[in-house]
């Protein structure tokens, strides 16, 4: 599965009021492995950034003067994204800007240009309801190092999002131990038939069993005789007699 993590920086918050994209960063993940095949552009938006936006991304208007316009990179961008699942944090924001840039060039909207779009912010809200789920907060929560993020940057944020996404979805892979040896030449996972192996059964020693029984007794005492598995054991002889 080819996944692309995408982020943009813009001159402001409203594409309908003339704000434009000034930076695009894309990071590729293939079979849950970062490939290094990333894409990054700075763009000349044809207008100055709002002061509030400048405080967020720190990309000066002067720096962007000699950068290409969106029209110069659009074909390369869409070819790179074609067929991929594009993962964006707060996707409606970035997609609205991409839609506007394409509209200004007389092209159709962005979503049909890619395989699918996933909003990682919506995913995070489902995983962590009632909590703040900004990229910085998710980095802290999932132990992703974001110490280099003093300002927003599209490529850096896309890289951080890739790490956050991998950590958020790690549970989906918990039952699959995958290495290079478990994939064939086509990239598909090879299923190993465990029935071919004789797996040993290791029984608890007398000391281990005694320690286990003591833990159960302590739990039963602490719960006032409400330990479910001991209740079941006590009831079993009565059921057998009945």
Per residue in 9-26, pLDDT tens? Answer: 999 999 999 999 999 999
Measured between alpha carbons, how far is 90 from 119 in angstroms, rounded to an integer? 6
Strand partners, 189: 183
What confidence tens digit (pLDDT) does each residue in 27-82 have?
999 999 999 999 999 999 999 999 999 999 999 999 999 999 999 999 999 999 99
Percent of the chain whose pLDDT exceeds 70: 81
Q: What is the CATH number of domain 2-182?
A: 3.30.420.10
Surface-to-core class of residue 159, CB atoms within 10 Å of its CB (0-12 exposed, 13-18 middle, 19+ buried): buried
Confidence of residue 148 (pLDDT cuts 50, 70, 90): confident
Contact present, 43 and 24 (Cβ < 8 Å): yes
Measured between alpha carbons, how far is 138 from 136 in angstroms, rounded to an integer? 5
In this prediction, residues 132-152 reach a mean pLDDT of 88
Measured between alpha carbons, how far is 44 from 175 in angstroms, rounded to an integer? 47
Contact present, 170 and 143 (Cβ < 8 Å): no
pLDDT for 205: 86
Average predicted confidence (pLDDT) for the chain: 86
pLDDT for 6: 98
Rg (CA), the chain: 27
pLDDT for 207: 87
pLDDT for 173: 45
Handedness of CA 236, 237, 238, 242 (dihedral sign): positive
pLDDT for 15: 97
Spatial CA neighbour of 58 closest among 159, 149, 158, 163: 149
Do the strands 2-10 and 85-88 form a parallel or antiparallel pair, or are they unpaired?
Answer: parallel
Catalytic residue among 40, 57, 89, 152: 152
Q: Does residue 125 or residue 232 have the better pLDDT?
A: 125
Specify the range with the lowest mean pLDDT, choosing from 94-108, 134-148, 158-172, 188-202. 188-202
Measured between alpha carbons, how far is 86 from 132 in angstroms, rounded to an integer? 23
Active-site residue flag, 152: yes
H-only helix segments in 182-227: 206-222
**Sequence ranges of the domains in the chain:** 2-182, 206-241
In this prediction, residues 201-219 reach a mean pLDDT of 83
What confidence tens digit (pLDDT) does each residue in 169-209 have?
986 544 344 444 445 555 555 555 555 556 677 788 888 88
Q: Could you identify the residue written with the tokens 């006032």?
A: 224
């Amino acid at each position: 599965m080819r996944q692309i993590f995408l982020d943009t920086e813009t001159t402001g918050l409203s594409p309908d009021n003339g704000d434009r994209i000034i930076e695009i960063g894309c990071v590729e993940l293939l079979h849950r492995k970062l490939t290094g095949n990333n894409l990054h552009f700075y763009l000349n938006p044809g207008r100055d950034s709002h002061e509030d936006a400048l405080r967020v991304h720190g990309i000066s208007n002067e720096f962007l003067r000699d950068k290409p316009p969106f029209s110069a990179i659009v074909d390369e961008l869409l070819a790179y994204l074609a067929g991929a699942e594009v993962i964006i944090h707060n996707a409606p924001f970035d997609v609205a800007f991409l839609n506007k840039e394409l509209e200004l060039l007389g092209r159709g909207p962005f979503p049909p240009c890619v395989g699918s779009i996933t909003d990682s912010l919506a995913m995070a809200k489902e995983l962590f309801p009632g909590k703040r789920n900004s990229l910085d907060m998710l980095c802290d929560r999932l132990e992703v190092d974001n110490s280099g993020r003093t300002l927003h940057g599209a490529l850096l944020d896309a890289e951080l999002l890739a790490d956050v996404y991998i950590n958020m979805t790690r549970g989906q892979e918990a039952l699959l131990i995958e290495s290079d040896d478990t994939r064939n030449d086509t990239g598909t996972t090879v299923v190993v038939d465990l029935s071919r192996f004789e797996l040993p059964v290791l029984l608890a020693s007398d000391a281990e069993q005694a320690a286990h029984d003591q833990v159960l007794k302590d739990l039963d005492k602490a719960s006032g005789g409400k330990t479910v598995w001991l209740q079941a054991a006590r009831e079993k002889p009565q059921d057998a007699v009945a």
